Amino acid sequence: MAPKHESEKPRIGVQTTAFVTGSFLSGAMMSLSVIAVPVLLDTNLTDSGHTVHQWARLYHYGHIYMPALAVATTGLYIYTAMRKWAAREHNRLLIYAAAGVSTIAIVPFTWVLMDPTNYILFGLDELPKGSTQMMDEPTVRKLLMKWAWLHVVRSLLPLAGSILGLVGVLQERIW
């Protein structure tokens, strides 16, 4: 094997993949809050049951893809951090570990801050159609707006991870 020259730049494929997937995750999550929920609220002006059911379907499909992408992205960051630890590059290890933790933080954020609102909305979705127990449209609108704002904040977590990942990649390429 030929000796590695000091001028050679390190390979950054895994780190770059993590940065890109984390950015994609954040953007996909953000689009639910800033595009999909407003569409639900603007097109279901009188039927709060239909609005809640559409939100439940939106949540269902997001729940299938987003956590898996967060776990995969976190795995890439942690793999990179472990490689840096093995190479005794502790300064770079920390930035990738922080990127991974920031990305996977969507899970506890959901459990602690979003689940109470989620459970109310899921409970409303399970009511029989036309039920007199259905909340009025302004209350449903308020719940969905609360969910959308919490989701915006949650969407910033993988974005923070991506920014940290990008800083790590730039440090390896430039510094």
Q: Does the structure show a pLDDT above 50 at 66?
A: yes
What the block records as the tokens of 32 is 């639910």
CA distances from 73 to 16, 76, 141, 162 (A): 11, 5, 33, 9
Letter for the amino acid at 75? G
Q: Which domain holds residue 100?
A: 13-174
**In this structure, what token pair is assigned to residue 144?**
């969905």
Per-residue pLDDT, averaged over 24-48, amounts to 93
Q: Does any domain span residue 58?
A: yes
Q: Is the pTM of this model over 0.85?
A: yes
User: Is the predicted pLDDT of residue 79 greater than 60, yes or no?
Assistant: yes
Is 3 inside a domain boundary? no
Choose the most confident range, by mean pLDDT, from 9-13, 38-42, 88-92: 38-42
Per the structure, the count of domains in the chain is 1
6 lies in some domain: no
Averaged pLDDT for residues 39-61: 91
Residue 17 lies in a domain: yes
What does the pLDDT read at residue 99?
Answer: 98
Q: Is 110 helix (H, G, I), strand (E, B) or coil?
A: helix
Q: How far, in Å, CA of 37 to CA of 144, rounded?
A: 7
In a domain, 43, yes or no: yes
Whether 147 has a pLDDT exceeding 60, the answer reads yes
**Cα dist from 124 to 52, 59, 135, whole Å:** 7, 14, 8
Please report whether residue 61 resides in a domain. Answer: yes
Banded pLDDT at 78 (limits 50, 70, 90): very high
| Residue 104 burial by Cβ neighbours in a 10 Å radius (0-12, 13-18, 19+) | buried
Residue 123 lies in a domain: yes
Res 3 pLDDT > 60: no
Q: Can you tell me the distance from the alpha carbon of 38 to that of 131, in angstroms, rounded to the nearest whole number?
A: 25
For residue 135, the 8-state DSSP code is P
Determine what percent of the chain is predicted with pLDDT higher than 90: 75
DSSP 175: -
Which residues lie below 8 Å from residue 42, measured CB to CB, with a gap of 6+?
none
**Is residue 7 in some structural domain?**
no
